[in-house]
Amino acid sequence: MAKIVDSSHSMDKSITLPPDEIFRNLENAKRFAIDIGGSLTKLAYYSTVQHKVAKVRSFDHTAKETEGDPLYEISMQEEVSARLHFIKFENAYIETCLDFIKDHLVNTDTKVIKATGGGAHKFKDLIEKKLKLRVDKEDEMTCLIKGCNFVLRNITHEAFVYAKHADSEFRFQNTHPDIFPYLLINIGSGVSIFKVESEDTFERVGGSSIGGGTFWGLGALLTKTKKFDELLQLASKGQHTNVDMLVKDIYGGSYGSLGLTGDLIASSFGKSATPDKEFSKEDMAKSLLHMISNDIGQLACLYARLHNLTRVYFGGFFIRGHPVTMHTITYSINFFTKGEVQALFLRHEGYLGTIGAFLKGAEEDNPNQYSWGENYAGSSGLMSTSPDLNPMQRARSGTFDMLEMDRLERQLVNLPLLQDPSSYIPDTVDLSEDALAREYWLYCFEEALDGVVKRAVASQPDLPEAAERAEKFRHKYQHKLQTLRHQPL
């Protein structure tokens, strides 16, 4: 994790960046893209990764069986594969991050960095000065849609439905070849709403000035908290009913003839005008988050109805897997559409523009001819719904968020024997929902660990550091199993 050092003089100089944890494989970076919004910067780069692969050669013993003859032979080969790295950080750290990249960039021969977002013009001179790369600006909307199409097609379980009171809060969607049409609500500093009909047919149909920047700005004024993630943490501990005026506060209960329950918010911050009463930071942050999320949800609902669309995806770095935000937006859309429109969230919501900008720069390599898979070991996961109840979850940096994707050298296609691939549902066990199956398999993995470690050491008898590396693997593997036991999602 990045180490934050307190400094009252210069925020952009207050962070230490370990190269092996944040900017991984930077020394082999070949191509760059950057998406700079009003508050956050998202960086993408392509690198090559060298790793060992075991090749197995089987021997045919059908003609004559000889005792002692090997059944197979295993050889280790070095392979080089391509990997995409995506990193998010606040704009306040951009100069330090650029300095870090410049100092650790070794083998690159790229001369251009693709840039998108409103800050691409603002930081153009700084980027060119620091990295000695020419900034090539790309259309923000085109990059956003291109990136969204890419993640929906290539990342397994990218989109999900959030159901707060269900046994499994996160209901992940399978990748589907037919992703159009859909509505994309991109929540950055403000909100932009896009109707997407195909790869090349899309338009911005609306928007709002009330978005993530509004929550951040008003939240900072109300609570004196300057960090976005700290505001979300405050909101998670607050009780909005102490600040918001509810229907029952006005009518003494529900308003049945209008279909309004008593717990419905009638006026955001409606109680805050009460004289001689103080309100906690947590309650104000929760009320503010509800107000903005409800507003975005209602806007999404209205535009979905207007354009007769039932799939609504939410992008941008406002939501960040935060349960209160997702529940409020989902509730709002369900309430106003009576369940006819589905709110779908994205695990990598904030990287859409960066991915699109990178793809624009990689068009000569024809990235669509490959298949891509997420490297989970190098990617940030969804936040826990309750970190206090799930202490084993991997620590996340409030400053950095990461995504890594590995390129497969051939494109994966649907099994040609399937009559209708679009309707095929694989017969799999969801270990996030089946507690007995999850515990069984975690137990199996734990029991097998000692044998795996011994074989790993035995496979490299000439390397003195093999035992030490194997023990590090054992520790990380055990820690990950415990994380999955306490936090399966």
The tens place of each residue's pLDDT in the chain, 489 residues long, gives 333 333 333 333 333 444 446 778 887 788 899 999 888 899 999 888 887 777 766 655 555 555 555 555 667 788 888 899 999 888 888 998 898 888 877 667 788 999 999 899 999 999 999 998 999 999 999 999 999 999 998 888 899 999 988 767 888 887 777 899 999 999 988 999 999 999 999 999 999 999 999 999 999 999 999 888 899 999 999 999 999 999 999 999 999 898 899 999 999 999 998 888 899 999 999 999 999 999 999 999 999 999 999 999 999 889 988 899 999 999 999 998 989 999 999 999 989 999 999 999 887 667 667 788 888 777 776 543 333 333 333 344 445 678 899 888 777 777 888 888 777 776 667 787 788 888 999 999 999 999 999 888 887 888 889 899 999 999 999 999 998 888 876
Output the pLDDT for position 449: 95
Output the pLDDT for position 142: 95
In sequence order, what DSSP letters do the residues of 190-246 get, joined into one string?
SEEEEEE-SSS-EEEEEEES-SHHHHHHHHHHHH----HHHHHHHHHH--GGGTSEE
Output the pLDDT for position 389: 32
Tokens of 377: 């070991």
Residue 304 exposure: Cα atoms within 13 Å on the Cβ side: 28
User: Residue with structure tokens 């934050």?
Assistant: 4
In sequence order, what DSSP letters do the residues of 457-481 get, joined into one string?
HHT-TT-TTHHHHHHHHHHHHHHHH
User: Residue with structure tokens 């398999």?
Assistant: 441
